[in-house]
Amino acid sequence: MNVAILLSTYNGEKYLEEQLDFIAASKLSGFCSVYP
């Protein structure tokens, strides 16, 4: 049971990191397109 919780927590953190990277990248590209 503890292993499943650890795995889901780890996967959740990886997912959040990827989402944050994607948001940061899209904001950065949007910023660059507004100010070339």
Environment class of residue 7 by beta-carbon count within 10 Å: exposed (0-12), middle (13-18) or buried (19+)?
exposed
pLDDT at 35: 58
pTM: 0.52
State the pLDDT at residue 28. Answer: 75
**How much is the pLDDT for 8?**
85
Residue-wise pLDDT for 2-35, tens only, equals 888 888 888 888 888 998 888 888 887 776 666 5
For residue 34, the model assigns a pLDDT of 64
